[in-house]
């Protein structure tokens, strides 16, 4: 495109054209690359198409050469568009004119059909009768974003300034919502939806978009809600919700900040052992010159936090740097408020990004302790023996999930249930020990296999969750799956795979991969079930795996709503 400009540099009309439309092109480019998915990138491509057409109209000379250059630009942009996430071939049709004309002529039929479709689509969000009666005619807001609850239940909606939680990507926007929920003009009730269209890779229900943790989206808004609202009711089932009601008097929030310290990329950091109700970390990342240039012309790197729990598992969430500077939620890392069981504590955290070469090596971290000193005076907690934050989300049961099986294969020896390492490799430093497994094109890693009957024999009829993890080292993009399979007589009855490439944050480095499966309770009633775990290389590029682990937990004694 710059070459095309150079061909016509002395043309006043061309210069005016690019001066007027260049900033718009840059803005659409930034919009298209912000997420790099097809819906955003397509907007940029269509804008390029429009500019190309307008450019040819203003030219007086060199049209054949310019037309060839413009055609090349359009073709190359379209070929690049195919690299966008969720790409779909571009389609042009004129059926919209026919539908528009039909809508004008048969408006009532179209309106009736649309209303019926809308009612059908929002039916899943009809609240239980008991929950609806608690709300009555009181004002309501929906958190974090599904406003179809309003028409589905004929509620009195009182919205906040920034409607979707994930859109609060700056401290100012977060502050606007926090001030709203702290004001006299806030709604009487908040319906907190737990079954969203997004999917938490760890089976949690406090997830946001893009693999983010919901309580990190709006750090100050989250505290404002805890201070000014209390949990009133919990709706279970397939589409669980929490119902919060405004307190008569807010609970005081007290923050204590420790002196900052310097951390580095890809290194575990011991979590402060404070006894505060909530522990947060104010984290500040700094770009180097290349990073600033990259951020301006293209976009920032993707940033992630690894959470190492006291049960040995790891949670992985993407973070927004500006919100991280306000405070990342560390403990208690609430995952499943649809049940009352307590959850593991975070012992260590680690920060990673897609290209540390664009960032300064030093990361500033400050621990922030948040307490609610007068919570007991206001009877704000549900159980004085547990943390205020946990109580606020209904975590009143000190019992945890029951661990039925926990096995690790570090590929340094032979272990019960695990096959032999089919590709021992010592050419690249292993994640732990000295040996990893090289998975060739079309090949498989070492696998785990056991009888589910023997694992579940002491917990008949109880829901279980199968969790499997491993570490993967890849030199580039790979086409591979990490698989959990429940089989009988050699036939898979329940099979779930995650794309390993989605977990590769840094190339030529060890990246954490996680998969889970919640088998149907009716399936578990069958005898002779076998469980298999393995990595499967579907592509043409080899990669390495290490430290494969399997955990099976049971929700014994809990009212958990099993979500898949």
165 and 237 share one domain: yes
**Cα separation, 72 vs 523, whole angstroms:** 56
pLDDT at residue 561 tops 60: no
Output 179 or 90, whichever has higher pLDDT: 179
> What confidence tier does 28 reach under pLDDT thresholds 50, 70, 90?
very high
Q: What is the mean pLDDT of residues 515-527?
A: 90
Q: What is the mean pLDDT of residues 210-237?
A: 93
Q: Which domain holds residue 303?
A: 127-392
Q: What is the pLDDT of residue 139?
A: 97
pLDDT at residue 557 tops 50: no
pLDDT at residue 325 tops 60: yes
**pLDDT tens for each residue of 59-69:** 877 678 888 88
Q: In which residue are the tokens 């090349």 written?
A: 72
141 within a domain of the structure (yes/no) = yes
Q: What is the mean pLDDT of residues 529-557?
A: 91
Q: What is the mean pLDDT of residues 68-92?
A: 87
353 and 412 share one domain: no
271 and 409 share one domain: no
563 within a domain of the structure (yes/no) = no
In angstroms, the first-to-last Cα distance of the chain is 47
Are the CB atoms for 165 and 183 separated by under 8 Å? no
DSSP readout, 352-373?
Answer: EES-GGGB-S-EEEEEEEEE-T
Angle of helix 38-58 relative to helix 63-81, nearest 10 degrees, comes to 180
Number of Cβ within a 10 Å radius of residue 222: 25
pLDDT at residue 475 tops 90: yes
345 and 486 share one domain: no
249 and 375 share one domain: yes
Number of Cβ within a 10 Å radius of residue 106: 12
Q: What is the mean pLDDT of residues 410-439?
A: 95
Q: What is the pLDDT of residue 558?
A: 42
Which of 61, 81, 101 terminates a domain? The answer is 81
237 within a domain of the structure (yes/no) = yes
**Cα separation, 330 vs 353, whole angstroms:** 18
178 by Cβ neighbours in 10 Å (0-12 / 13-18 / 19+) ranks as: buried
Which structure tokens are listed for 541? 């590029």
Which of 351, 374, 392 terminates a domain? The answer is 392
Total domains in the chain come to 3
518 and 385 share one domain: no
**Cα separation, 229 vs 249, whole angstroms:** 9
98 within a domain of the structure (yes/no) = no
92 within a domain of the structure (yes/no) = no
Overall pTM surpassing 0.85 (yes/no): yes
364 and 437 share one domain: no
Q: What is the pLDDT of residue 174?
A: 94
pLDDT at residue 510 tops 90: yes
> What confidence tier does 8 reach under pLDDT thresholds 50, 70, 90?
confident
Which of 23, 58, 81 terminates a domain? The answer is 81
Which structure tokens are listed for 196? 């969203």
Q: What is the pLDDT of residue 198?
A: 80
**pLDDT tens for each residue of 377-406:** 665 554 545 678 888 898 888 888 888 999
> What confidence tier does 559 reach under pLDDT thresholds 50, 70, 90?
very low
298 and 342 share one domain: yes
Q: What is the pLDDT of residue 94?
A: 67
φ and ψ of 552, to 5 deg: -125, 125
């Amino acid at each position: 495109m710059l070459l095309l400009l150079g061909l016509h540099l002395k043309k006043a009309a061309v210069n005016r054209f690019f001066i007027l439309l260049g900033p718009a092109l840059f803005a659409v480019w930034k919009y298209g690359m912000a997420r790099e998915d097809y819906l955003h990138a397509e907007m940029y491509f269509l804008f390029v198409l429009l500019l190309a057409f307008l450019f040819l109209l203003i030219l007086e000379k060199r049209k054949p050469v310019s037309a060839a250059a413009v055609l090349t630009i359009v073709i190359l942009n379209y070929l690049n568009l195919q690299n966008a996430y969720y790409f779909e071939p571009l389609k042009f049709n004129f059926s919209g004119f026919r539908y528009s004309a039909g809508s004008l002529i048969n408006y009532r039929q179209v309106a009736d059909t649309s209303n019926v479709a809308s009612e059908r689509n929002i039916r899943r969000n009809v609240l239980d009768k008991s929950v609806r009666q608690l709300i009555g005619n009181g004002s309501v807001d929906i958190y974090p974003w599904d406003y179809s609850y309003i028409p589905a239940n004929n509620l009195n909606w009182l919205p906040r300034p920034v409607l979707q939680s994930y859109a609060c990507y700056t401290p100012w926007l977060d502050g606007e919502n926090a001030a709203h929920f702290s004001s006299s003009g806030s709604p009487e009730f908040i319906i907190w939806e737990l079954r969203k269209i997004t999917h938490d890779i760890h089976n949690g229900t406090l997830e946001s978009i893009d693999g983010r943790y919901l309580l990190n989206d709006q750090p100050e808004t989250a505290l404002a809600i805890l201070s000014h609202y209390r949990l009133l009711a919990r709706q279970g089932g397939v589409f669980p919700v929490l119902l919060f009601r405004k307190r008569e008097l807010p609970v005081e929030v007290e923050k204590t900040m420790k002196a900052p310290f310097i951390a580095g990329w890809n290194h575990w950091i011991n979590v402060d052992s404070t006894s505060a109700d909530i522990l947060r970390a104010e984290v500040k990342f700094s770009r180097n010159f290349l990073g600033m240039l990259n951020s301006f012309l293209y976009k920032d790197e993707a940033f992630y936090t690894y959470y190492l729990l006291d049960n040995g598992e790891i949670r992985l969430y993407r973070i927004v740097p500006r919100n991280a500077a306000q405070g990342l939620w560390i403990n208690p890392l609430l995952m499943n408020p649809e049940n009352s069981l307590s959850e593991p504590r975070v012992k260590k955290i680690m920060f990673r990004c897609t290209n540390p070469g664009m960032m300064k090596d030093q990361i500033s971290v400050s621990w922030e302790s948040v307490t609610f000193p007068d919570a007991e005076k206001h009877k704000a907690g549900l159980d004085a023996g547990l943390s205020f934050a946990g109580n606020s989300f209904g975590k009143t049961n000190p019992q945890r999930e029951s661990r039925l099986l926990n096995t690790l294969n570090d590929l340094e020896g032979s272990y019960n249930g695990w096959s032999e390492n089919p590709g021992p490799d010592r050419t690249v430093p292993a994640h732990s020990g000295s040996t990893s497994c090289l998975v060739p094109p079309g090949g498989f890693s070492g696998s785990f296999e056991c009888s589910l009957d023997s694992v579940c024999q002491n917990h008949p009829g109880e829901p279980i969750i199968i969790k499997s993890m491993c570490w993967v080292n890849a030199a580039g993009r790979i086409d591979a799956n990490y698989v959990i399979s429940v089989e009988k007589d050699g036939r898979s009855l329940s099979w779930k795979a995650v794309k390993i490439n989605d977990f590769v944050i840094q190339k030529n480095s060890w990246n954490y991969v996680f998969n889970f499966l919640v088998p149907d309770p009716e399936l578990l009633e069958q005898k002779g079930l076998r469980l298999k775990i393995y990595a499967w290389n579907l592509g043409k590029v080899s990669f390495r795996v290490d430290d494969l682990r399997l955990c099976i937990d049971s929700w014994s004694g809990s009212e958990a709503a099993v979500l898949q």
